[in-house]
Copies of this chain bind each other. A is one copy, B any other.
Amino acid sequence: LMKYFLRLFLHTIMVAAEVALLINVVFSVIGYFLTIKLIPSFAEHFIVANLYGRDLNKKSDKKVPEALGVICGAIFLVCMFFFIPIPISYCTGIIYSTVIDLLLYFIDNLLYTCREFIQFIGALLSICCMIFLGFADDVLNLKWRHKLTLPTVASLPLLMVYYTNISNTTIILPKPFRYIVGSEFDLGLLYYLYMGMLAVFCTNAINILSGINGLEVGQSVIICISIILHNLVELSGPVAAYHRFSLYFMMPFLGTTLGLLRFNWYPSKVFVGDTFCYFAGMTFAVVGILGHFSKTMILFFIPQVLNFLYSTPQLFRLVPCPRHRLPKFNPETGLVGMSKARFKPSEMHILGSFIIRIAEFACVVDVKRGLGEDGQYMEINNLTLNNFLLKILGPTKEQSLTIILLCIQAVCTAAAFFIRYYVSTFFY
């Protein structure tokens, strides 16, 4: 009899989980339509409130509302708020009816449900806090160092929930290391540092690969789809619960973000602001950590990592860095080309000039020397992936550049899946 109850119970849980996923999809679709309805009706408010920019890559000079990512984020939150009781109430209802009979069998399940619920709300808290701080950053134009502290603050609830609920800081080592230190290794506090840095990485990685219409949102959509694919594949595996948890977040994110993309796509009717980059990055970090696939998730960020590495000389001020590094628009041809930084060689850090020399030799940077009236100035293209592509392709339409970058992102996803499902089998 007990076995029968147990099987019935597990079956009901599974059906309930599938129903929950279905409801989640419905909410995501509603989220999409809400976003495309609310963005135009709020856009004017943003311009009145002085939250606007001008599109440097267009001939017209009209005001484009900025930081509309906040609408997208708020709708995402509302969808998730309504979803809070769905996956839980199904399960707990069943648990309560049988808890007296099968206490010992179900105690684990009960605790698991409870924990998953705590993680769900903790994750929402991190995302909500990130949207709020991101919007504050957009409004107040905070300094560069805040770009590192804000995601750290917002990831606090996540880390605390992880600490109280999971506390597992042991990692499984790849095979080459196993001979030295064994197959497992407890990172302890370092693991929390890793999680905090993952949030900083995800938010800023998206933030710095930007500057042309639709790129921030477009790359987020592709990363999100990659994660959803990964989750769906793993849904039939042994850790399905983790990946279902991730899907609960990724689908409403996809819905609301697609809504935003409609307005942010070339020619942009709205800009998304740092708010969106923070929101997207934190959502990815949250599902990566609580879904226990943070390594796989980093693989989906290959173009962002390349862009970051290529940018480091300017980001760390080894080479002078102008305020804007977005590609330069040529009003006569209507095409965008490389934007350049012009400076005296003496303004470079010694390490910077060494790096530039190597990069010049490897043909990855466009360097011109002896410029200006007395030949004192030199010029390099700004070190972003956008400019690197323009160096190879020559001047291009802005929209084509976005599409090419998004294709690269998609190809990298394919590479990531290859690494995750084929190459990694040699190491784990």
Interface residues of A (CB under 8 A from B): 42, 45-46, 48-51, 70, 74, 77-78, 81-82, 84-85, 88-89, 92, 103-104, 107, 110-111, 114-115, 117-118, 121-122, 124-125, 128-129, 131-133, 135-136, 139-142, 153, 156-157, 160-161, 163-164
Contacts and interface: CB of A to CB of B under 8 A. Distances in A.
Nearest to A141: B49
Specify which of A45, A131, A142, A160 lies most central, judged by the most chain B CB atoms within 10 Å of its CB. Answer: A160
Given A131-B132, A139-B51, A164 B45 contact: no
A89 B163 contact: yes
Contact of A157 (B74, B124, B141, B161): B124
Contacts of A141: 45, 48-49
A interface SS class = helix
Given A125-B125, A157-B84, A164 B132 contact: no
- Count identical subunits in the complex: 2
Contacts of A122: 121
Q: For the complex of A and B, list the 6 residue pairs with the smallest distance between their C-beta atoms, beginning with the closest.
A: A132-B132, A84-B160, A81-B156, A114-B114, A45-B140, A121-B121
Given A42-B140, A135-B135, 17 more contacts: A48-B140, A49-B139, A49-B140, A49-B141, A70-B136, A82-B156, A84-B157, A85-B163, A85-B164, A92-B164, A103-B103, A103-B104, A111-B114, A117-B164, A121-B157, A128-B132, A135-B139
B117 A160 contact: no
A164 B84 contact: yes
A107 B103 contact: yes
A128 B73 CA distance: 13
A92 B165 CA distance: 10
A141 B45 CA distance: 8
Contacts of A46: 140
Nearest to A150: B74
A128 B129 CA distance: 6
Given A117-B164, A164-B117, A142 B45 contact: yes
